Amino acid sequence: MRLLAFVLLIPAAAQTPAPKPVMRYGVPVKAGPMDTVLLRDYDPESSLAAPITKLPKARVPVIDVHTHTSMNNIKTRADVDAWVRTMDEVGIDVSVVFTGATGAEFDRQADLYLKSHPSRFQVWTSLDTARIEEPGYGDRAAAELERCYRKGARGLGEITDKGWGLDGGPDRHKARGARLHADDPRLDPVWRKCAELKIPVNMHIADHPSCWRPLGPRQERGPDFQAFSLYEKDVPSYEELLGRREKLLARHPGTIFILCHLSNQGNDLAGLSGILDKYPNLYLDFSARDYELGRQPRAAAKFLSRYRNRLLFGTDMGRDAEMYRGWWRLMESDDDYLPGRTGWRLYGLALPVDLLRALYADNARRLLNWTRP
Ligand SMILES: [Zn+2]
């Protein structure tokens, strides 16, 4: 399976006794050592002589609206302190932290971040999905949300439905039809409570469309992403999940939804524009979609400018200083041929400073609830 591209370049003709080289665009394609290179090992050294812009710090202060306690491996006060030092080095003013927790664990994390660095973090709570079949589920979940709000929560998320339901995953899920999806009426009290408390919801609906395509020679993203495959799994189609997204947005116009990762539709900016035009309560973060922006730099720069009041910067990629700096190079430089995580090459967007200000911080300042706990 991983021989992929290289094997395909050489059809079976290469193994017969007197192979006649296949001509492709005037080049004789012959068998050779490249044919057995595994796709996961393919790491070409570029000869391109092009500038590499070093940007140690973002041009203007940044609010990162998408980070996770778990992914960033934050356990102690010392971990939080170390993170803040990195944030200072790279120009992150505030990180919005998804605690992934409710109840006592949420309270512990709220104290961990807010007691030590109250001005550097915003903590968000998660959704209690226990006993969803029992009567009064939505009201119970909304009550816990409000309790977390009083304890410091200023948002709900990241709430994820890749098709298994908000309360499930590949290893633990209900039968199709019994799953809790975002547009389920049982969740109405939760979304209404968010509107009442003026806190946004960050949701991950569906996933990158390549997840629904076979793992093989035509798979778009490289081997590092194959663990995300949903191909032939017991999940609804990509299109069905995006349809549920629309039902949710239409059903709760007073609730602010930030759909993360460009709503998993960054491959189709025209389609995404249509959804943004239709639902004014929809906002997007572009965390973990560096590769969608960077592979189409001209279209992406236009899109970011056109929807400059609806888009928010986030990372969702850990907390290494060089990770943040990779983002600054993509957003701010006009460098060509940046290395990308999917195996694709990216191109700097060279965004003007007023647009950077809107995307990096102004939208988050306007949209997020900054009242003190
Ligand atoms: Zn995330």
Expressed in angstroms and rounded, the spacing between residue 221 Cα and the centre of ligand 1 is 19
pLDDT in tens, 160-214: 999 999 988 988 899 999 999 999 999 999 999 999 999 999 999 999 999 999 9
The closest alpha carbon to 259, from 194, 186, 184, 314, belongs to 314
- Whole-model pTM? 0.93
CB 262 within 8 A of CB 205: no
Q: Is pLDDT of 245 > 80?
A: yes
Distance (Å) from CA 49 to ligand 1 centroid: 35
Ligand 1 center from residue 158 Cα (angstroms):
6
8 confidence band (pLDDT: 50, 70, 90): very low
Centre of ligand 1 from the C-alpha of residue 247, in Å: 22
What's the mean pLDDT in 276-283?
Answer: 98
Which of 369, 317, 354, 341 lies closest to 64 in space, CA to CA?
317
Query: Tens of pLDDT along 211-234?
Result: 999 999 999 999 999 999 999 999
Query: Which secondary-structure segment (H or E) carries 160?
Result: strand 156-161
Cα distance between residue 209 and residue 161, in whole Å: 14
- Would you state the pLDDT for residue 372? 86
* Cα radius of gyration (the chain): 23
Domains in the chain, CATH or no CATH each: 4-40 (no CATH), 62-367 (3.20.20.140)
Q: Where are the beta strands (DSSP E) in 6-135?
A: 22-24, 27-29, 62-68, 92-98, 121-124
Model confidence at 7: pLDDT above 70: no
Q: Are the beta carbons of 258 and 284 closer than 8 angstroms?
A: yes
Q: Which residues contact 200 (CB under 8 A, 6 or more apart)?
A: 155, 156, 157, 194, 255, 256, 257, 258, 283, 367, 368, 369
- Distance (Å, rounded) from C-alpha 152 to C-alpha 148? 6
- pLDDT-derived band at 308 (thresholds 50, 70, 90) equals very high
pLDDT of residue 16: 56
Q: Maximum distance among all alpha carbons in the chain?
A: 78
Span from the CA of 27 to the centroid of ligand 1 (angstroms) = 45
Q: If you measure from the C-alpha of residue 186 to the centroid of ligand 1, how many angstroms do you get, rounded to a whole number?
A: 24
* Cα 298 to averaged position of ligand 1 atoms, centre (Å): 26
At 13 the pLDDT is: 46
Distance from the alpha carbon of residue 102 to the mean position of ligand 1, in angstroms: 17
Contact 244, 235 (CB under 8 A): no
Q: How far is the CA of 262 from the centre of ligand 1 (A)?
A: 12
